[in-house]
Amino acid sequence: MSYAIQWVRSLIFIVIMYFALLPWGIVFAIPAIISRKYAYLCCRSYCWFITWLAGWLIGLKCEVRGTPPQDEVLIAAKHQSFLDVLMIYGGIPAGRFIMKDILKYAPVVGQFGLRVGCIPVKRGKRGAAIKKMIADVSAGRLFPGQLIIYSQGTRIAPGVKAPYKIGTGVLYKELGQDCVPVAANVGVFWPKRGIYRKPGVAVVEFLPRIPAGLDTAEFMKILEQTVEGRSNELMREAGFTAIEE
């Protein structure tokens, strides 16, 4: 398939992806108000549709490996593009993200994100937001489920090194839950910016749990080594070689 044809298909895919938010939001609006389970179903079914569409329209197959958690855990994931958001959320029953504060104003995404318990975080105020979230969990105001955090704080392009932020360690310690690391290679096919999407096999992999109770520094070291090491392996598997060690 030529680059031009794939670019056009990628553009059509992106247009459908964003316009599909509207019918999903309309269909699930009232049910989601009645019960939070329909908000989860809305978000998960949208994720399933978009990952199916990626395989059918642009030749980008989406593969979830490992065992997605079903209980209350902290998920600390590699973040390379919007695709890993869709694949992770579609694989778990009751996920909620620590998300950028500005996203709460986005049509459909913001309303349903808040409904499923996502935590908006303002840049530069992550510490205060984490403290508030921990207080909310302790008070029982948030429904149980899987809390997802991107430990590097933003999307990181393949081959680029970026520090792991201590917020993940604070959450791990204060929540007292196991942590499920998640590796990914999706950025090889779905870049941080731009329209073009490459065909191939995008993978997110749920890795073995890190048990609760470790020292924060030890936990952060294990988390980074685990996620970065496996993500690099997955990217090499996808044909990407420009990886900083």
DSSP state of 187: G
The confidence score (pLDDT) of residue 108 equals: 86
Q: Is residue 244 part of a domain?
A: no
Quick one: CA dihedral 222, 181, 71, 171, positive or negative? positive
DSSP state of 141: -
21-34 and 3-19 helices cross at what angle (nearest 10)? 30
Full DSSP string of 207-230: PPPBPTT--HHHHHHHHHHHHHHH
Q: Is residue 103 part of a domain?
A: yes
Structure tokens at 155: 């999307």
Indicate the pTM of the whole model.
0.92
Q: Return per-residue pLDDT of the chain as tens, 245 residues.
A: 699 999 999 999 999 999 999 999 999 999 999 999 999 999 999 999 999 999 999 999 999 999 999 999 999 999 999 999 999 999 999 999 888 888 888 888 889 988 998 888 876 666 676 777 677 666 656 677 899 999 998 899 998 999 999 889 988 998 899 999 999 999 999 998 899 999 999 999 999 999 999 999 999 999 999 999 999 999 999 998 876 65
Report the number of distinct structural domains present in the chain: 1
Q: Please state, in angstroms and rounded to a whole number, the distance separating the CA atoms of residues 89 and 41.
A: 11
The confidence score (pLDDT) of residue 104 equals: 84
Q: Is residue 7 part of a domain?
A: yes
Q: Is residue 243 part of a domain?
A: no
Contact 37, 93 (CB under 8 A): no
The confidence score (pLDDT) of residue 139 equals: 61
Alpha helices in 124-202 (DSSP H): 126-138, 167-175
Q: Is residue 131 part of a domain?
A: yes
The confidence score (pLDDT) of residue 100 equals: 82
Residue-range definition of the domain harbouring residue 166? 1-238
The confidence score (pLDDT) of residue 214 equals: 97
Q: Is residue 9 part of a domain?
A: yes
Q: Is residue 245 part of a domain?
A: no
CATH number at residue 170: 3.40.1130
